[in-house]
Amino acid sequence: MKGARATVRLIAGPTAGGKTALALDIAEAIGGEIVNADSMQIYADLRILTARPSRRDEMRAPHHLFGVADAADAWSVGRWLTAAAAVLREIAARGQTAIIVGGTGLYFRALTEGLADIPPVSPAVRAFIAALYEDLGEAAFRARLARVDLASATRISSGDRQRLTRAFEVHAATGRGLSDWRSAVGAPLAAADWRGVILDPPRAELYARCNARLSSMFDEGVHQEVAVLAARNLDPDLPAMKALGVAPISAFLRGEISREEALARSQGDTRRYVKRQSTWFRHQTPDWPRLTGRRATLSQEAPDFMHQLGYDPS
């Protein structure tokens, strides 16, 4: 953190990629403290469904921002960033290493790039920019964007239509480039104070892990956990109510579908989410080292990162 000179390590990647296991190994090896960067593991109500670290895991190293919010309380990226910044200052003051782990890409972006208070973009502007992209194609659209926001046009990866149109939308709506908005807000983590890594196992392996994890959750009685949440009759638009698996398991509890169908839907939704996560991290963190997630080969895949952590998986 700026002003605290914390040594911070970021471990990101899609669901079931092995992040928790790696974070625990590193924390034990160097005496680090683990900070949650998963938007669903914030909530106390769904320990099983969100694959929060077990109580046994939490005894292996200090954990922060896991299960700290009630499902009725919606946390935004900004709220998490404020809480995380406070935790990082405390960890730095103790002279410890913070290990931030999770799969919510926007949290990592907020930490490393800052969180600009950009005014909302109207649907009309979004529709106009979308039509412009369709009309021009990526190359010409990027060239047009470069006239008003060269930094964004240069930084955004090829094929990333979402970020290209977002950058143009912001300029069209505000008269300022997206890069200008972000540069006006300092990142909580200075570039010299952190190093990040993405755990990125092969897609087929990830899907198999997700399927197995969901099957195990159902065997552990995850439906009982969801039943307690459903009984509260909370606003369905709350973030916790949109956690993967809540909708199909709730349908099963209401007798609308079978247990097998609820499991299959949960698995399918999770696989699609993993694909979106992998795509986001590939486009948004192109310079971060990638690991396959096989712990036995981590030192060979990212020797500098592992050496700096003082971690030897052998």
What's the pLDDT tens digit per position in 254-294?
Answer: 999 999 999 999 999 999 999 999 999 988 898 898 888 56
Predicted confidence at residue 1, as pLDDT, reads: 46
CATH of domain 123-183: 1.10.20.140
Predicted confidence at residue 244, as pLDDT, reads: 96
Predicted confidence at residue 286, as pLDDT, reads: 86
Q: Tell which CATH classification among 3.20.20.70, 1.10.8.80, 3.40.50.300, 3.30.230.10 matches the domain 7-115+186-309.
A: 3.40.50.300
Question: What is the arithmetic mean of pLDDT over 216-221?
Answer: 94
Q: Are 266 and 214 in contact (CB under 8 A)?
A: yes
Distance separating alpha carbons of residues 22 and 24, to the nearest angstrom: 5
Q: Does the structure show a pLDDT above 90 at 249?
A: yes
Distance separating alpha carbons of residues 145 and 152, to the nearest angstrom: 8
Question: What is the arithmetic mean of pLDDT over 246-259?
Answer: 97
Q: Does the structure show a pLDDT above 80 at 301?
A: no
pLDDT class of 143 with cuts at 50, 70, 90: very high
Question: What is the arithmetic mean of pLDDT over 235-264?
Answer: 96
Predicted confidence at residue 157, as pLDDT, reads: 77
Task: For the chain, give the mean pLDDT.
Answer: 89
In sequence order, what are the beta bridge partners of 291?
Answer: 199
Q: Which two tokens stand for residue 306?
A: 């592992």
Q: Does the structure show a pLDDT above 50 at 181?
A: yes
Query: Of 27-36, 184-193, 265-274, where does mean pLDDT reach its minimum?
Result: 184-193
For residue 282, which of 164, 178, 158 has the smallest C-alpha distance? 158
Delimit the domains of the chain by residue range. 7-115+186-309, 123-183
CA dihedral angle for residue 66, residue 267, residue 288, residue 150, rounded to 10 degrees: -100
Distance separating alpha carbons of residues 176 and 261, to the nearest angstrom: 48
pLDDT class of 2 with cuts at 50, 70, 90: very low
| pTM attached to this predicted model | 0.79
Judge residue 73's burial from the number of C-beta atoms within 10 Å of its C-beta, 0-12 exposed, 13-18 middle, 19 or more buried: middle
Distance separating alpha carbons of residues 144 and 150, to the nearest angstrom: 9
Query: Residues 78-84: contacts with CB within 8 Å, 24+ apart?
Result: 78/110, 78/115, 80/37, 80/39, 80/42, 80/107, 80/110, 81/107, 81/110, 81/111, 81/115, 81/188, 84/35, 84/37, 84/111, 84/188
